[in-house]
Amino acid sequence: MSKQRENIDGDLKEWIGRQHVFFVATAPLSTEQHINISPKGGDAFRVLGPMEVVYQDYTGSGAETAAHLRENGRIVVMFCEFVGNPRICRLHGRGTVVSRGDARFADFEKIFPANPGTRAFVHVQLDRVSTSCGFSVPFFEFRGPRTMLDEWAIEKGPNGLKEYWDRKNRQSIDGLPAFP
């Protein structure tokens, strides 16, 4: 059963820290445009406080999350347990994209491992924390992180990444500004 929680307490923070994957969902204001959900992995998520989180946004082929957050800020982050006791956690809130050049970028960069493909950080002020059972979530075994994105970003180099961001990440698939 779903349970709304007051905030992210120590137990939930520890559980979140053990998860290898999380999912981020956002939506534009227009019902004519596309809803987005993105899987995220790596050591890319931090709980900053009982109602505040941040994640490291790696370079991607699209920029839907950034575009939706710039338009309306709505976001939900979902974690689910694949190996232990079945559990799902949803973190609803308002997110902001913290890009290079923003004063907070350097602060967030200090709390994550260096990653050549870091495009931005997504900072979220939560307004709802809930957990529920994951009785229907199957078991999956974690074999290890993938290294392909890091290798690709290193090969591109800083100038190649900037060119890629300019070409592929300026706007969403619906034409909303993402990384101007």
pLDDT at site 1: 67
Where b means 16+ CB within 10 Å and e means fewer, 19-35 reads bebbebbbbbeeeebee
Q: Where are the domains of the chain?
A: 3-168
Class of domain 3-168: mainly beta
pLDDT at site 43: 95
Question: 102-133 pLDDT, tens per residue?
Answer: 999 999 999 999 999 999 999 999 999 999 99
pLDDT at site 71: 98
Contacts of 158 (CB under 8 A, 6+ apart): none
Chain-centroid distance, C-alpha 133: 22
Contacts of 92 (CB under 8 A, 6+ apart): 75, 76, 126, 127, 128, 129, 130
Q: What pTM was computed for the model?
A: 0.95
Please say whether the beta carbons of 65 and 107 come within 8 A.
Answer: no
pLDDT at site 180: 84
Nearest to 122 by CA among 79, 172, 70: 70
Q: Which residues of the chain have pLDDT under 50?
A: none
pLDDT at site 3: 94
